[in-house]
């Protein structure tokens, strides 16, 4: 499902949900809605990392094998991170190419690097970068290290043991149920959190112009 810079994320997600309602069985729809509602109801904005939090000197492996460090990314000012679950996530396959067209050019003009982070190993993440020819970094947040520090990771309530075939840890290649909630993180010089926006409902994410406004208000 291709997206264009003139289409909003809201409209694209509405189309995705409409297609699911046409094609998914009722039990699958109900389970998906239940998980989204639970995450929304439980989300506490005060529980996640707040502006002013100083992050440790973390590094991330990019899909091409390079290592990206927080210190290097923020050496000349702010860097923006966008968290996503895994390469095959339908919602993220809408959002990332949209942000590539509608957000990345403005960030590049401002000299602000954009990094998309997932717990998925680099080898599996190559797929989404290649599929959409993404012009920004795509890298691994190993073991959800940064997501945990920000308190934005979660595990579903229902975790069968042993896990069934095709479970999320098998899909992601992490061997874990843990996933990050979709989020934007702006980190300034000194690895200081400047802004964190979390989307507990993964079909309700900020438009590019909203992200850019917060970046301009909070960057170094």
Position 212 in a domain = yes
Q: In the chain, how many domains are there?
A: 1
Encoding tokens for residue 93?
């396959």
Position 70 in a domain = yes
Residues whose CB is less than 8 angstroms from the CB of residue 80 and which lie 6 or more positions away in sequence, other chains included? 107, 112, 113, 114, 115, 184, 185, 186, 187, 211, 215
pLDDT of residue 168: 87
Encoding tokens for residue 28?
């699958």
pLDDT of residue 160: 75
Position 4 in a domain = no
Rounded CA gap, 118 and 125, in Å?
Answer: 8
pTM: 0.90
pLDDT along the chain (220 residues), means of 10: 62 86 86 84 92 97 96 96 92 92 97 97 94 97 96 85 84 92 96 96 90 94
pLDDT of residue 2: 43
Q: Give the SS3 label for residue 162.
A: coil
Cβ proximity of 125 and 116 under 8 Å: no
pLDDT of residue 110: 96
Position 91 in a domain = yes
Encoding tokens for residue 147?
């997501």
Task: Tell me 52's DSSP state.
Answer: T
| Segments forming the whole domain that contains residue 163 | 9-218
Position 115 in a domain = yes
Position 1 in a domain = no
Rounded CA gap, 86 and 172, in Å?
Answer: 6
Position 151 in a domain = yes
How does strand 183-188 pair with strand 192-198? antiparallel
Q: Which CATH number belongs to the domain containing residue 61 in this structure?
A: 3.40.30.10
Cβ proximity of 59 and 164 under 8 Å: no
Rounded CA gap, 64 and 111, in Å?
Answer: 22
pLDDT of residue 6: 59
């Amino acid at each position: 499902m291709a997206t264009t810079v003139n289409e909003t994320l809201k409209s694209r997600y509405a189309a995705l949900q409409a297609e699911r309602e046409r094609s998914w069985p009722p039990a699958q729809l109900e389970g998906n809605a239940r998980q989204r509602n639970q995450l929304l109801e439980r989300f506490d904005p005060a529980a996640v990392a707040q502006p002013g939090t100083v992050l440790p000197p973390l590094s991330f492996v990019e899909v091409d094998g390079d290592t990206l460090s927080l210190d290097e990314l923020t050496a000349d000012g702010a860097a923006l991170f966008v968290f996503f679950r895994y390469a095959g996530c339908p919602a993220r396959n809408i959002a990332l190419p949209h942000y590539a067209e509608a957000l990345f050019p403005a960030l590049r003009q401002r000299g602000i690097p954009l990094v998309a982070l997932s717990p998925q190993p680099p080898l599996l993440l190559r797929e989404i970068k290649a599929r959409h020819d993404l012009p920004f970094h795509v890298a691994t947040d190993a073991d959800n290290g940064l997501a945990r520090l920000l308190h934005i990771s979660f595990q579903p309530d229902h975790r069968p043991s042993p896990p069934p075939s095709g479970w999320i840890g098998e899909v992601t290649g992490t061997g874990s149920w843990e996933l990050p909630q979709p989020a934007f993180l702006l980190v300034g010089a000194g690895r200081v959190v400047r802004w964190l926006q979390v989307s507990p409902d993964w079909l309700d994410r900020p438009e590019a112009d909203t992200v850019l406004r917060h970046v301009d208000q909070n960057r170094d």
